[in-house]
Amino acid sequence: MYLQGAYMHENSQILALQEHCKVLEQQVLKLTTECDTVKAMFQQLANAVHLPHTDPLKLKPASLNPLLMTTNAPSPCPNSETHPDVRFWHQEDFLNWLDKAAEAELTSCRKLAYLEDENGNTLPESMVKGVWKVIRSGYCELMKWGLAPKSWGKLCTTGRGNFHSIVENACPFFKLANDGWKLDHLAGTSYPAWR
């Protein structure tokens, strides 16, 4: 009888150790996934700032200083002084222009005439189609991150910042607006149909 009790005790220890091994295997899988994610994010960052080494384990902080000194400073945000030909820096400018029906009638894409290039020219329709694709992908990213609101007016600051970053990087002409009003206006009017 003693042997049977010892055997059962030994079996319960083996089962407990097997269970502990399963937990450890799950933790290893989780850590491996996190490590791979961090490496991928480091790779993207390294590519963006043109680091010569893309292995985070071989990166030496001392090697960053010369890189930081030679990196070009970001260009200043466009404004009415740097881009005087842009007509619609403020939404009021566009609304006033729309009120002048004769001038507005000359534009085939009257509703989107505020989308303009650095020279104040309305974007061609072929480019506008590409803009819609970028806008929709921005909406999808918000959805993926769990930041997509039921209505555009309820978009949180983080969501707005991420959305602007995505779209403005793909379509820099959206930066030709005071406080991002052009992108906010276009997104606000098209979001309900997408949602």
**What are the phi and psi torsion angles at 85 (to 5°)?**
-80, -15
Report the alpha-carbon distance of residue 71 to residue 49 in Å, rounded: 8
Instruction: Indicate the residue type of 40.
Output: A
pLDDT at 73: 53
191 neighbors 184 (Cβ within 8 angstroms)? no
Query: If we measure between CA atoms, which residue out of 143, 116, 150 comes closest to residue 131?
Result: 116
Q: How much of the chain is in helix, strand and coil states, percent to nearest 5?
A: 70, 0, 30
pLDDT at 91: 93
Chunked into runs of 10 residues, the chain (195 residues) has average pLDDT values of 60 87 88 78 70 64 50 70 93 87 56 89 87 91 90 90 91 93 92 81
Give residue 123's Cα distance to chain centre: 23
pLDDT at 186: 93
pTM of the entire predicted model: 0.59
Report the DSSP beta bridge partners of residue 116. Answer: 122
pLDDT at 39: 75
133 neighbors 78 (Cβ within 8 angstroms)? no
